[in-house]
Structure 1
């Protein structure tokens, strides 16, 4: 048995403060503090987010260490989210991680949040099967929609991405049009399960083979709802489940079309999903069906590793630690960071 490598991961890119301890790739704790403060504003307020991180970060880290039954002196390294994300939020995690690593005299490891979503598939867990290289990963969240070819842990290439809005945004904005509270994506999913996906037809945007566009779809949904409400003011209430099912069906169709194109172009049939929207029941279902229909091997992460969480930061930190890829103490947070940077 080799030595025990304990990595503390810290995630603070948006509105969740999270800390996780992993031992040689296995999660011992993954603590997430959600911020309730944003729901009444219908979206994340950056200033409020960074303040909440400052309040949450010490108790969250303490809880993660306690749950893992690990003393901070046992830690091998501290991994933290460098970006992309909200600058104020990232700064809280970055400065905390730096001072802790400096105080404990252990390596500091900066993590690219987008890579971490993909590398969450390598968390050692009794139930998960890990994708072999090379594989295709569809990264879908509130801020990102990308098809990434993954040839090695840190060798990734973006094959296609959104030219405007991210898919999570399309879900949330559609929910807003329907008068559903923020975050609306999960609510659309909930109502969609009770509706008819073919009730209303929305046009799919025409963009490149592997690229995405969601702004036209959102406008189409808005105009459709406005038109129907002029005819029947109770249209939304009377058809909510069907509207949600039709919106979700269209979005998932768009995602699946692009994945089929990616498989055709690369010949790679190992397909993974990552990011917050990969919690969506319909995309999970369609991917499982694709195993039967197209002979793909699909990799679907556990729910707790889909949204922003520190376990994915810790596993990425662990893989970088094995490579001795440490950060310098002069490292700074970066709000915009590409998956391949």
Structure 2
């Protein structure tokens, strides 16, 4: 079964053709980053307009690169939630029209579940396992019981981890997107230069939750209070080296995630961890989990960490193969009902 996957939840206009949920025949991603960079963040109105302008060409490219005729497509999958409503509506409307005109089965999928499925396109895994979803909009630790069923153990009580990266980068003028620039700077910095605070969420209902508002505030406003040794200053500006700030912040941000993850590993006994989302590309996160020899940690290829159509087509295949179909009345939703317990 060849599935066309369409993704337009934020600022990536993407389409892909995937065969049998695993074999990626094409994966076209056209980024809007240069257009949003002057604003240090995604402008929703601009994003939706650009999706409208680009989506036909992106889908056409995906079919061409897959060496696939329209008549060879067996089904269509599209991200319907969560995300920017205007951007989502473009993808959902196009996908429904494409499928309806050709009498193809159509399925709308959850963006976050698609991110969790991305590593499974290159690795075999047995359910259940622990899932760590980390991106600009989400920080979710969950028990994954099937491709479409998760039990959320913890989430962020304020900022998502990727959001914290972007806000710190914006304040210091590192560049956009913040996660990419901080990761690059951190590789040349001293992660012990500053000791930033980690939240104390060990007990009760917050045992697996994370928080980033305190860390973000400390990095932006209270650097001197957390200095633990003399840090070389930039000879030109006289300020602390950006590389050291980036490295210290990155270490703290990732360690917050890992403390919650390791508690879940201990409590559940599950020793397979699947990581998905844009922050899954972070080099420090990958290095730290690679050092955990008693865990099997599965990351998606870097090409599948960010938003892409391949993961949508991949998980879409699983729904379609099971016989699921979405009604033609399906529409986009900026949010889904609260991720607090089991979510089908």
TM-score category by the smaller chain? over 0.9
Distance in 2 (CA, whole Å) between partners of 1:7 and 1:30 is: 12
Answering whether residue 24 of structure 2 is matched by residue 27 of structure 1, we say: yes
2:310 maps to 311
- TM-score, length of structure 1 as denominator length: 0.93
**Post-superposition shift, 1:130?**
2.5
2:188 maps to 194
Distance in 1 (CA, whole Å) between partners of 2:81 and 2:200 is: 31
1:58 maps to 56
1:336 maps to 335
Judge conservation of contact 1:131–1:272 (CA < 8 Å) in 2.
Answer: no
Distance in 2 (CA, whole Å) between partners of 1:235 and 1:38 is: 31
2:261 maps to 259
**Post-superposition shift, 1:129?**
2.4
Judge conservation of contact 1:172–1:185 (CA < 8 Å) in 2.
Answer: yes
Judge conservation of contact 1:14–1:89 (CA < 8 Å) in 2.
Answer: yes
Alignment of 1:199-214 (within 5 A): 199-207=193-201, 208-214=206-212
- TM-score, length of structure 2 as denominator length: 0.92
Alignment of 1:1-341 (within 5 A): 5-25=1-21, 26-35=23-32, 36-123=34-121, 128-207=122-201, 208-225=206-223, 234=237, 236=239, 238-290=240-292, 292=293, 295-338=294-337, 340-341=343-344
Number of residue pairs the alignment of both structures matches: 326
1:126-185: per-residue Cα shift (whole Å, max 9, x none)?
Answer: xx3233211101100000000011111112111100011100011111111212122111
Unpaired runs of at least 5, structure 2? 227-232
**Post-superposition shift, 1:235?**
5.0
Distance in 2 (CA, whole Å) between partners of 1:17 and 1:226 is: 42
Judge conservation of contact 1:84–1:112 (CA < 8 Å) in 2.
Answer: yes
**Post-superposition shift, 1:226?**
7.8
Question: For the aligned residues, what is the CA RMSD?
Answer: 1.5
Judge conservation of contact 2:194–2:223 (CA < 8 Å) in 1.
Answer: no
**Post-superposition shift, 1:7?**
0.2
**Post-superposition shift, 1:272?**
1.3
> Any idea what SS the aligned residue of 2:222 has?
helix
Judge conservation of contact 1:84–1:113 (CA < 8 Å) in 2.
Answer: yes
1:291-335: per-residue Cα shift (whole Å, max 9, x none)?
Answer: x2xx11111110011100000000011000111111000011111
